[in-house]
Homo-oligomer: A and B are copies of this chain.
Amino acid sequence: MPVLAPSLDRETFLALPLAEQYHTVRAFTEHLTEPLTTEDYVVQSMADVSPTKWHLAHTTWFWETFVLGEYADGYALYDEAYPFLFNSYYVQAGERHCRAQRGYLSRPTVAEVFAYRAHVDEAMQRLLAGIPGDADSTLAEVVRVGLNHEQQHQELMVTDIKHVFSVNPLRPAYRERSVTPAPDPGPMQWIAFDAGLHEVGYLPERDGVFSFDNETPRHRAFVETFALADRLVTCGEFMAFMEDDGYERAELWLSEGFATVQANEWTEPFYWEQRDGEWQHFTLAGMQPVDPHAPLTHISYFEADAFARWAGARLPTEFEWEVASEGLPMTGNFAEDDVLHPMPPEFVASGGDGAPAAPQLRQLFGDVWEWTRSQYSPYPGYNPLPGALGEYNGKFMSNQFVLRGGSCATSRTHIRRTYRNFFPADATWQFTGIRLAKDL
């Protein structure tokens, strides 16, 4: 097996034989557990969070259930009790343990879960041997779902362990990291787009061999003229909102948003704390000063929407975002960079004679998931996958908002320009942030 190649881009990755793709993804999952003690694997700090141990076992159950159980002749269940324990929400795949009680399970132990992984990995390697990366068999298709599924859980492992550590009064660091102040990114600039009829959604020849079902079918959408901000909103810009009593002014908020603010007594972004008159926030490198020039993150849809209204702007729709992203390279700060925190924007050099360069869209991929004002709905003609895998996306199409672009905890080989992430409007424990849009 090749060693782990963290800087692999999506195109190169998709060209690897399937067994190597599998190894790469599984190894990266385990790479993410390296900083943890045995105790860290056990804790569930809120209902949305799962213990690391559960993520390790659930992703393995996925391979066992949807791949080995279907395609590997004579494969026998590793442990009869595991399907009940490690099914997440696939109703058609059988009964499952209550989500809110995943933190009540001390057994199986961490060592037992790693043994389970090793057992399944061995069977998977046998099964996948010799299959090219672009095979179009049903097996290959399900394996691609499994790889992308495991990559989604990698992101959750990062955001969940961040939450676990954050509720501990000791505020332990996942991994120490030296942090230096970011340079001033300068004023936000606007990039205008004309109205027009566009094709949106997954395009295999451009986006590679895989997409989730919710990105399909490709279809036409009319997008009116709009402008998009060249960069993400910074912490400093959000501080100005706070200083202007943003959290107290009902007129800036959706009704449900203001009710959420009041019920939860929100007065600052999630993970922020005032210490000795200074704003600090909890990061995977422990408590750190909030850097006014760095991108804002861990922000709910409600906060993003209120901030935008305060700023005289709005959030983009998902199709505005997708149209704007056309032709841009999918580079950015991703999970493989091991930073696990949004980075300051790269700057665009000024023009030749000292004049500022034309504004360019920056930070579109990686760093933070960008909230759109689009509620998560099926595309015209949408069909979920058949069977239990059809529960993957379609059944969540109510009361969620679409996010685009991936985050610092997303794998570089996982993101696509048509990728539709979705979360409820009050979710804050993901690396979510704000890019503004405007009517013209």
Contacts and interface: CB of A to CB of B under 8 A. Distances in A.
Nearest to A226: B380
Interface of A is mostly: mixed
Contacts of A39: 38-39, 41-42, 53, 106-107, 109-110
Given A197-B197, A257-B398, A374-B377, A167 B101 contact: yes
Given A172-B107, A398-B301, A222 B197 contact: yes
Nearest to A399: B399
B106 A395 contact: no
B378 A377 contact: no
A195 B167 CA distance: 52
A91 interface: yes
B251 A92 contact: yes
Contact of A164 (B104, B165, B226): B104
A224 interface: yes
A391 interface: yes
Contact of A37 (B97, B107, B301, B314): B107
Given A39-B39, A109-B39, A395 B104 contact: no
A250 interface: yes
Interface string A406-425: 00000000000000000001
Contact of A40 (B106, B314, B399): B106
Interface stretch (A62-70, A81-89, A120-128, A281-289): A81-89
A348 interface: no
Contacts of A395: 253-255
A381 B439 contact: yes
A263 interface: no
Interface string A16-57: 000000000000000000000111111101000000010000
A373 interface: yes
B108 A169 contact: no
Nearest to A260: B398
A105 interface: yes
28 contacts: A37-B109, A38-B38, A38-B110, A41-B106, A42-B42, A42-B106, A43-B105, A45-B104, A85-B170, A91-B250, A91-B258, A106-B168, A107-B168, A197-B197, A251-B391, A254-B395, A254-B396, A256-B398, A301-B398, A302-B398, A305-B398, A314-B378, A375-B376, A375-B377, A375-B398, A380-B439, A399-B399, A399-B425
Interface of A: 37-43, 45, 53, 81, 84-85, 89, 91-92, 97, 101, 103-110, 164-165, 167-170, 172, 195, 197, 219-222, 224, 226, 250-251, 253-258, 301-302, 305, 314, 317, 373-378, 380-381, 390-391, 395-399, 401, 425, 439
